[in-house]
Chains A and B, each alone.
Chain A
Amino acid sequence: MTVIVIANGSVLTPEGWMQTDVAVSGAVIVEIDQVLENATVIDAAGCLVGPGFVDLHTHLREPGQTWKEDVASGSLSAAAGGFTAVVAMPNTDPPIDSPKVVDLVASRGVEVGLVDVIPSGALTVGRSGHAVSDIAALYRAGVRVFSDDGDSVEDSGLLAEIMSTMAALDGAVVAQHAEVSSLTDDGHMHDGAVSRRLGIGGLAAEAESEIVRRDLDLVRRTGARYHCQHVSAESTVEAIRSAKEEGLPVTAEVTPHHLSFTEEDLLSLDTNFKMYPPLRSESDRNVLLEALREGIIDVVATDHAPHLPSEKDVAFPEAPRGVIGLETAASVVWGALAEPDALFKVLSTSPAGIAGLSDHGQAVKPGNKANLVVFAPEEVWNVTSFQSKSANSPYLGADMTGRVRTTIHDGRVSYQSGEK
């Protein structure tokens, strides 16, 4: 039986932050005095110890695009980022729109065994936006987060039907990638000063907020739980704010990169800054940060989207959208919020709650599943390489403060950083 003692850390317990040791035996946290000899001791002096992080938005690329990433490399990447659970987006090939593909992805996750891989399910058959997928069957297969991520469900009638079905399913949530495709056809970066200077087609903020406003009207009508993926624009934040004030069952996420960067970072046309939704203005970035602090935005989710250099090193408009984010997310959030409670709230407690993962996101106490992270808030490091198969990160080369030291998944060390 694996026995681990995490010693001398500052631990997030149900009673708050405590200077204490944490003992793990088997897959669970145990009382410290139960621990036998021969324990592996992890020195967590100066570190925060809390529940492992949960990513609501990961692209593992398996099945179908395993040259970019697969469950094994994506799990390594997640563990290196302090994650103990990731929600795998369904835009694979074939897409996760049937129990069969759900089982395939979930069982690959169990085989690899570094992180809980939680498949999301497509809202529509083949993610084509035309017909409702078999939501009841997906739900029985364990799916709680449903999304057509990469595309919006634009058809209002169809979405209303989906929401009505899902409102009756306890814990099920509609996660929307908000994008009016007819407004973004020729767009490759935020529609603003930089896109005009570079002559690159713009992506208007309204392409996002129009869908979200429409969706919120349908939430009011159907009562379905709704989660807004990767919020990028001030107008969307305002729509979410008023929905929350009204008491609608709504949550929202922001990506780390939208907290760090703006359209100005695209002046060099580096395709590692190209994603959807695009990096927007400095004023949008400040609104997102403030909304995260206020809780209007509930979680930080990575939208980890691996692409190879050969795919990214092309004309900017032709480059695929998306950047990786699992291995840098915690450092970015720490840099943005610099507050231990907030770090674990937006990266662990809140996302675990939204995805209904009771083994994750809990304060550290005996009896709980041992899904833990040790985070060194003062460690300075430079982003040079990744566990992911891809390296399309806007943080490549950046100096970061705060680093994941150790990740424990299911009672076993799933990641241990090389240096102290």
Chain B
Amino acid sequence: MKGLITVRDLGPDQLRAMIEEASLLRDMLDRHEEPDPALQGRCVANLFFEPSTRTRLSFELAAKRLGAHVLTLNPATSSASKGESLRDTVLTIAAVGADVMVVRHLEDGVPQSVAEWTGLAVVNGGDGTHEHPTQALLDAVTLSRHYEGLEGLRVGVVGDITHSRVAGSLLHVLPRLGMDVTLVAPTNWLPADTPHQTTTDFDAMIPELDVVYLLRVQTERGGRITDSYVGNFQLDEPRLARMRPDAIILHPGPINRGVEIADEVAESSRSLITEQVRNGVPTRMAVLRAVGL
């Protein structure tokens, strides 16, 4: 696999194989076993032009666990602030000796531009409102470890869909694994031309769902928190009580407690949010292994 810019390039079989691989790696990590240092001698450059904690840390750890050298670019202290073009910055890092680049940027399309400029394997660490492929993959890993089979699961993706790059990837991954996706959001956050079912009535939808996937309101990308959003879409205790007894809650983080999810609900046993974070490293290991070999 030459890089991972968009999940749209992954077919169902490729997705399943990667999820299975990530799940095996997760088991190994849980048993404190050292995985095969498949990237020994390789260099993974983390180019995070936009702040990130969990994604950056888990890519770093994933690369190290596979035996790779890791360069982490901190754009605030790089030449980016001296007026160097982005292309020159990434070509310099490529020349220093990177084999794989993980790119996060607040603008759409930058991972692809980096791939075009360098010819290197590039993994999209999240670009603008476009995609966040490894988040969608680790969500799929989390679901596949929780359920016997994914076919036919009903997933409600709730909240700021138009501004969410997580949704940008998730909405392609889940259907390819046979899940049935409904978008749940106020009208202004529903994409205009989506192949998915949509509803603005979260309350009517709740008892139907196996998975409630909550999105963070992307205030930094134009999403706005309103009383009516919190009132109609926050997953609070009364709504939790109306969920199916075996239904679960996912959230890509960071969580805005009291906005899309009530504090108590985030801590409930139905929430697999911590599991999602735990699956971050093995999922990114699987991706790096696939692109770095």
A residues apposed to B, CB below 8 Å: 196-201, 268-270, 309-318
Contacts and interface: CB of A to CB of B under 8 A. Distances in A.
A314 B165 contact: no
A315 B88 contact: no
B128 interface: yes
A269 B130 contact: no
Given A313-B85, A315-B107, A315-B109, A198 B116 contact: no
B230 to A, nearest CB: 25
Nearest to B87: A313
A311 B107 CA distance: 16
B87 A200 contact: no
B146 interface: no
B69 interface: no
A199 B113 contact: no
Contacts of B83: 310
Contact of A313 (B86, B127, B193): B86
Given A200-B108, A316-B107, A310 B130 contact: no
Contact of B108 (A201, A268, A312): A201
B85 A200 contact: no
B47 to A, nearest CB: 12
Interface of B is mostly: mixed
A199 B111 CA distance: 12
Interface residues of B, number: 25
Given A199-B130, A200-B108, A269-B109, A314 B116 contact: no
24 contacts: A197-B6, A198-B112, A199-B108, A199-B129, A199-B131, A200-B128, A200-B130, A268-B112, A269-B112, A269-B113, A269-B116, A270-B116, A310-B83, A313-B87, A314-B85, A314-B86, A315-B86, A315-B105, A315-B107, A315-B110, A316-B107, A316-B108, A316-B110, A317-B108
Interface string B99-138: 0000001011110110011000000000111110000000
Contact of A317 (B107, B117, B131, B168): B107
B196 interface: no
A268 B109 contact: no
Contacts of B107: 315-318
A309 B130 contact: no
Interface in B65-88: 83-88
A368 to B, nearest CB: 47
B60 to A, nearest CB: 23
Interface in B172-227: 193
Interface in B225-246: none
